[in-house]
C-alpha cells in the first residue's frame, strides 16, 4: 500500500492539464473530472455550477477548467458569498482564468 497516497492533496486540479495551452478545448475525460470535482456541499452552489455547465460545457477550455479548479478550492460558504457578491474576492489574488470562470458563473 502506498502510504503517501493516503495523504496526497486532493484539492488541486487535474494534473493532466499541466503544460497545456489554456485555449485548447477540454476533452471528455477532463470534463468528466471537472464535473466530479465541482460537486459541492451547499445546494445553492450546486445550482450555480449546474447552470454554468448547462450554458458553457460545450465550449469549455483547459483554461476554464484551471479556473474552475481554483474556485473549487474555496470553502462552500466563501464560494457562495463570492457568487452572490456578498463578499470580496479572497486575499490571495485569483488568476485571470478563475476570474473569467467566476464571471461566467455569475451570468
* pLDDT tens track for 21-61: 989 999 999 999 999 999 999 999 999 999 999 999 999 99
Residue 7 has pLDDT above 60, yes or no: no
The pLDDT confidence band at residue 65, using thresholds 50, 70 and 90, is very high
Q: What is residue 12's predicted lDDT score, i.e. its pLDDT?
A: 57
The whole-angstrom separation of Cα 80 and Cα 91 is 16
Residue 10 has pLDDT above 90, yes or no: no
CB 13 within 8 A of CB 66: yes
Give the CATH number of domain 24-106; options: 1.10.150.250, 3.30.70.270, 3.30.413.10, 3.40.640.10.
1.10.150.250
Where does the chain have alpha helices with state H?
28-37, 43-56, 62-72, 76-83, 96-106
Instruction: Return the domain boundaries, the chain.
Output: 24-106
pTM to 2 decimals?
A: 0.84
Residue 101 has pLDDT above 50, yes or no: yes
The mean pLDDT of the chain is: 88
The whole-angstrom separation of Cα 40 and Cα 37 is 8
Q: Write the burial class of residue 11 (CB in 10 Å: 0-12 exposed, 13-18 middle, 19+ buried).
A: exposed
Q: Name the residue with higher pLDDT: 66 or 18.
A: 66
Q: What is residue 53's predicted lDDT score, i.e. its pLDDT?
A: 98
Amino acid at each position: 500500500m502506498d502510504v503517501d497516497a493516503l495523504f496526497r492533496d486532493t484539492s488541486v486540479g487535474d494534473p493532466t492539464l499541466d503544460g497545456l495551452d489554456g485555449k485548447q478545448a477540454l476533452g471528455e475525460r477532463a470534463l468528466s473530472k471537472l464535473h466530479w470535482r465541482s460537486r459541492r456541499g451547499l445546494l445553492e452552489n450546486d445550482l450555480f455550477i449546474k447552470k454554468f455547465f448547462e450554458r458553457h460545457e460545450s465550449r469549455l477550455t483547459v483554461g476554464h477548467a484551471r479556473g474552475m479548479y481554483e474556485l473549487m478550492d474555496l470553502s462552500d460558504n466563501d464560494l457562495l458569498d463570492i457568487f452572490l457578491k456578498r463578499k470580496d474576492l479572497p486575499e490571495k489574488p485569483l488568476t485571470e482564468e478563475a476570474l473569467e470562470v467566476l464571471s461566467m458563473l455569475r451570468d
